[in-house]
Amino acid sequence: MQSQILPAIAACALTIVSVTAQGVTKETVAGISTFARLDTTIACGGATSVEAVPELKKMGFRSIVNVRRASEAGADVEAEGAAAKAAGLRYVHLPFDPQSPDPMLIDNFIAAVTAPENQPAYIHCAAGGRAAALWMIKRWKADGWDEQRALDEAIALGLNERFQPFAVNYIRTHTR
């Protein structure tokens, strides 16, 4: 019975459900806890297993931007980086500590996701909130979007109440 279930699960590993915001779709991808894609530009996700990395390559991503801290439970930054390299993906690790973010985090993130060789990029953290918060700030700072438009897209990508204040505060206290 289990031998019949596994192929069925594998065949259904990618289910798409449309979300009504800026071309964002929610998808189920084996080995990724949450996955939301913005057209072909980027995707934000949560906890990502090394087994999911080859699937990201098949989906057309050229890079993985991991914003988890190496010390987080379940984060295996080194193994993920090795899996990305083995799959032919670029790998960028930008640990995002919400209590004490690196002063260069935003600039480094924007540089990583706008580099042509990294596009399209898959950005992830543990649940997707930090990834979407950074994307919101990128939209405001680099793309010139207004706060509400950037917020709406970020929410569709997985921004949660825990990281929304960080992104909004950054926007309101910084200049472009």
Quote the pLDDT of residue 17: 32
Q: pLDDT at residue 19 above 70? A: no
Count of domains for the chain: 1
In the block, which residue shows the tokens 């997985």? 158
The string of pLDDT tens digits covering residues 120-137 is 999 999 999 999 999 999
Pairing mode of beta strands 35-38, 15-18: unpaired
40's tokens: 């072909």
The string of pLDDT tens digits covering residues 40-98 is 789 999 999 999 999 999 999 999 999 999 999 999 999 999 999 999 999 999 999 98
| Biggest alpha carbon–alpha carbon distance for the chain | 59
Residues of the domain holding 12:
2-173
The pTM assigned to this predicted structure is 0.85
For 97-105, what is the mean pLDDT?
94
CATH number for the domain spanning 46: value is: 3.90.190.10
Determine which helix (DSSP H) or strand (DSSP E) holds 49, and give its type and residue range. none
